[in-house]
Amino acid sequence: MTTIDPEITAPPNSAPPALPPAPPAFEARGSGGSAPGNAGEAERVGGTAARPVRRRAGGDPVKALLHRHRELCERAVDPLEIAAGLEAHGITDRTAARFRHRDVFSLAEELYARSPHEEVAAAAPALVPAGPDAFRAVGYALLPAALACAAAAAGQAWAGAAAVTAVAAALVWPGRAAGGRFPYAAHVLAAAVAGWAVYRHGTALAVGLALAVVPGHLAAVAFAAGARARLDGSRALEDFADRARPLLLAAVALFTGAAAAAAALAGTPLPVAVPLALLLFLTRLLLRHGAHRAPVGAALALALVPVPAAALAAVAGLLVHAVLALARASAHARP
């Protein structure tokens, strides 16, 4: 008779042995599953795990630039004013690329559009000055010639000094040179240069310089108007510079011919009168367009040296400085 071990074979009516407890459900960890707290985020992306949103590192660089130059942008009458101001602060077309713009003019247009501006009912000023102020300026330019010619014809001893004072005021004044504590130092130096030259070469030189004041005034006005027109039609700083340099050289050539004619009428030697007139004319242009006075003062101081070639060297150096400084858009912004 076979004996069955009760531990091996259970009785027919007995319940099956209890199974061990099931292991806990698998919990998703890391990026492979969805934790209960991330269920809503998973539902927002269609049941799949959402990727972390990457923030822009740069933010809004134009907004930062707008805050830095807020005063310039708010008082500008057009984007060109902002472009000129940005260039004066050292921002070039290459710098504008970091602000996602192709050039400074495009960047200035966005800054102007994002800045609050007061409504201006008046029309934009004309490129060529007109009206009573323009005629008054021409009248002021005529005074030195009239005073010098009248005093020289009367044979007055003070004719040279009076002409020098009038010429220095008419050729150099007014100026808005940038920086420095002594705004009239360049005007005093210009008067000293003209006075020293007239003292050495006679009253006829003062008359020749006085006759050149009107052509100098007209050439300066024409250059300013032409540069402003080219600024309105330019789309890049290099484009404006390429257009402004020939205009400046044309104005200098025009004034050179007028100064030579004035010197011939006054009976003074051309090698003395023309370089001196050009020096004063370039001084007027640079100061009027906000150039720094250091190169201007250095050129005027060099002209005081009693050497014939000193005036020519001063004119050459100041002309190079003018070609570089007056080809900048910031030199032709509306005051």
Burial class, 2, CB count within 10 angstroms (exposed 0-12 / middle 13-18 / buried 19+) = exposed
Is residue 160 in some structural domain?
Answer: yes
Is residue 40 in some structural domain?
Answer: no
Assess whether 173 and 104 both reside in one domain. no
How many domains, the chain?
Answer: 2
Name the more confident of 75 and 43. Answer: 75
187: pLDDT confidence band, cut at 50, 70 and 90?
Answer: confident
Residue 165: per-residue pLDDT: 76
Q: Give the rounded distance of the alpha carbon of 42 from its chain centre.
A: 53
Name the more confident of 287 and 254. Answer: 254
Is residue 52 in some structural domain?
Answer: no
By residue range, what is the domain housing residue 99?
Answer: 61-113
Assess whether 274 and 198 both reside in one domain. yes
| Cα separation, 223 vs 130, whole angstroms | 15
Assess whether 86 and 156 both reside in one domain. no
Q: pLDDT tens-digit profile of 284-297?
A: 898 888 777 889 98
Is residue 120 in some structural domain?
Answer: no
Q: pLDDT tens-digit profile of 193-216?
A: 988 998 899 888 888 888 888 888
38: pLDDT confidence band, cut at 50, 70 and 90?
Answer: very low
Mean pLDDT for 76-86 is 78
